[in-house]
Structure 1
Amino acid sequence: MSDPRQVAPPHERADAGAHASFDPLRLCVYATVALVAWLLGPVALLGFAVLGVVGYARARRAGLLRSRCKLGDTRLVIAYLVVLALLGAAGAAYALGGGHVGV
């Protein structure tokens, strides 16, 4: 007998039928990312953007041409993430230079 507090793996959820409940894990992830971004400001933006650029560059080299991201084409997604990384770097430099960004 399985623990009802545990989320079933994807291969078991198909068999669960109408009794399966929705797990809003993405909402928890989004809230955690927002918390980190709020606490770390431009440094978090820089980190997440660089992580995204690296991930999408690897995926593109592996053959991914279209993303589920609203921008679609992985080249556009990478360009967008590079712009965010530049903004994060500029914000971090501004904050370290005596300006005030974030909390």
Structure 2
Amino acid sequence: MTLDDFRASLADAAPPALAAPVEALWWTAKGDWDRAHRIVQDADGPDAAWVHAHLHRMEGDLGNAAYWYRLAGRPVARGGLEEERDAIAAALLGDPVARSAR
């Protein structure tokens, strides 16, 4: 799946089969922060931590976000939230667009 496929799937009522961190990003893009947070809270690994960081950044809890960025081994994001979400989605999907964001 590419980032464009991911974006197109947002028109659907439910996500396609996705790894938990990407599914959390899908729900985030649909405006369901709570559902996205529950998904990554129950997932392990650096990808889930990266998405978890993004979610706490969205809510303005920058201290908590910084903790999750450290667990993910990623720098704290500084750009726009939608830009960051798309970069994370592309990276986790293996979309070539994301290779420069890694």
TM bin, normalised by shorter chain, reads under 0.3
TM-score of the superposed pair, with normalisation by structure 1? 0.25
> Taking structure 2 as the reference length, what is the TM-score of the superposition?
0.25
Structure number with bigger Rg: 1
Does 1 or 2 have the higher relative contact order (CA < 8 Å, sep 6+)?
Answer: 1
